[in-house]
Amino acid sequence: LSNERDFETPVAWYEDRDVKWTCYQKYCDKMFTFNQNHSPYDVVAWHGNYAPYRYDLAKFCTINTVSYDHLDPSIFCVLTSQTGEPGVASCDFVIFPPRWMVGQNTFRPPYYHKNLMSEFMGNIRGVYEAKEEGFLPGGGSLHSCMAAHGPEVSVFDKASNGNNNAVPPNNDCLAFMFESTYMLKMTPSGMNENRDQKYTDMGAWNGFKKNFNPDQK
């Protein structure tokens, strides 16, 4: 859970300096600049209820199962922006923080699924639990509406054949996700210029064997 007390807003501050400033603004995937001869921070106050804030993700109080089953990732929601339809978010901001993994008789990584929400994931640091081989820090992935996805083959094999011992948190790992009811479109830069072709060619979901057994109870 993200506690209200941990969101910090700045103390009122301003500066009155006559110096050269270059201001940058991004619009429609392009950068624009303009120059001025004084500091842009010569604002004494703002009107209304909107204010900048910051939040330390390390202060997130993690909730997880202490018995069995992999819980829905909504338990990791930091912030949400709801639509007019109950239970449907225009955007959820979710993190996957360090935590104990203790579920018994449970496939502990995120299960294979598809849903009505678009999911954009990013890895801040360390190794993400469902993609141990190619999802590097600074990388991102987009799972569009109704696109099936889940752990890599190697993660599936390890989780399916491992023991039920409790696994302590890895404090070097942190990933995040933006989840939205709206369709997300990749920019040309995201599709072509910064694509990890090696990870794409590796095929994270290639090599799965048929595991269905109607006699298994």
- Catalytic sites, residue numbers: 70, 113, 119, 143, 149
In whole angstroms, how far apart are CA 211 and each of 67, 94, 214? Answer: 25, 32, 10
Q: Give the E-state strand segments of the chain in sequence order.
A: 7-8, 21-27, 30-36, 54-55, 77-82, 89-96, 118-125, 140-143, 174-180
Q: Tell me which residue of 74, 72, 78 sits closest to 3, measured CA to CA.
A: 78
Amino acid present at 204: A
Tallying the residues shown for the chain, one arrives at: 217
